[in-house]
Structure 1
């Protein structure tokens, strides 16, 4: 009797493992590849924009799981090095939300452009069918008009050259608004993160 009970428990465990594996394989995956903005710095992960996008998807009963692949302090160079590891999982839609730290550090826009292209090419090497969204970023004005203009143009140039969906500015309607940012003036509050999710949605929804 004891052996029979153990066998039944073992069979149940195997069934649950198989069920969860099949369920995971059946889910389409949206990967948000970014920095501290994506990670939800200063907030709980449930208050970062990837979680709010998951809420929208769930409300529509769509078969997608959103993965938050944000890493605080990440630059486009770091992203280009990290993307191979991230792409060990299956991905259907890949959003790139990097570049903010490049702008804060005054990194040469040509390097930012090269890194973004590297990330896109690596995603396409993984699977040419992955839909890619590139979100633009802005550099702080204290770096001068020429730099901020060159930096801004990099994202549109990359989007055009690599033929990806382009969102002009990830922090649209949020950057510079004290009420929507934490005391550091850089990282959005939960309300700011919700606005980011709302702004991403028109670019994401047609791909679902």
Structure 2
């Protein structure tokens, strides 16, 4: 994939809120998750991330977490998905926002954060520390939680060392925290025109299906 296309795709994580009357408005799939009644024995799977998780430009049921919910239902598994994706989220912002989402029980936690840090060229050690802080908060609140890390990559034009160091953050944290690891969330979608919306940035409904498969291949081992 070309570095320009990959950079554009990554920038999608920060461009998904639009202003109206001076306020930021989230699209339907990006609305803040609300705790709802869950049947006894059913565990929550919280997907916590950026617009890639929120499913920008699509109906809520077309975002990859919702697609995974359908897979779960087809297999009659006792899990309920919560989409905690939010446009423009950085690891620092996520470190603060996670407290609110942890008010509802979480059995499995899927972390997809960091792309906006890379896009801004933020310090890799800082990003790593913020992601670890998120993980620590989740584990402190729910010690028995199962964890999944979704990896992200930066394009070569960010510099060889930065690109390498950034990519390594996700695998290192996954290993350190005994997390199931998805090496690259956008595998098979990044840079493929037909799998992205007209802006050439955000995955289409078909692209989101591939994201769902990328995550499901690892997530299903925990169910």
- TM-score bin, normalised by smaller chain: 0.7 to 0.9
CA distance in structure 1 between the aligned counterparts of 2:199 and 2:123, rounded to whole angstroms: 24
Aligned-partner SS, 1:107? coil
CA distance in structure 2 between the aligned counterparts of 1:102 and 1:71, rounded to whole angstroms: 14
RMSD: 1.4
Question: How far has the Cα of 1:160 moved from its partner?
Answer: 1.5
CA distance in structure 2 between the aligned counterparts of 1:165 and 1:53, rounded to whole angstroms: 16
Please point out which of 180, 186, 192 is paired with 1:165: 180
CA distance in structure 1 between the aligned counterparts of 2:217 and 2:208, rounded to whole angstroms: 15
- Assess if the C-alpha contact under 8 Å between 1:31 and 1:67 holds in 2: yes
Question: How far has the Cα of 1:68 moved from its partner?
Answer: 0.4
Q: Tell whether 2:192 aligns with 1:177.
A: yes
Q: Tell whether 2:114 aligns with 1:104.
A: no
Larger radius of gyration: 1
CA distance in structure 2 between the aligned counterparts of 1:95 and 1:124, rounded to whole angstroms: 12
Alignment of 1:67-82 (within 5 A): 67-82=82-97
Please point out which of 40, 44, 56 is paired with 2:59: 44
Greater helix share, 1 or 2?
A: 1
Please point out which of 96, 99, 108 is paired with 1:84: 99
Match of 1:28 in 2: 43
Aligned-partner SS, 1:88? coil
Question: How far has the Cα of 1:26 moved from its partner?
Answer: 3.5
CA distance in structure 2 between the aligned counterparts of 1:163 and 1:96, rounded to whole angstroms: 13
| Higher-RCO chain (CA-CA 8 Å, sequence separation at least 6) | 2
Match of 1:55 in 2: 70
Match of 2:26 in 1: none
Gaps of 5+ in 1: 1-19
Aligned-partner SS, 1:137? coil
Question: How far has the Cα of 1:42 moved from its partner?
Answer: 1.0
TM-score with structure 2 length normalisation?
0.81
Aligned-partner SS, 2:98? helix
Q: Tell whether 2:209 aligns with 1:203.
A: no
- Post-superposition Cα deviations, 1:157-208, rounded to whole Å, max 9, x if no partner, equal 1112222111111111111111111233332111110001011112111111
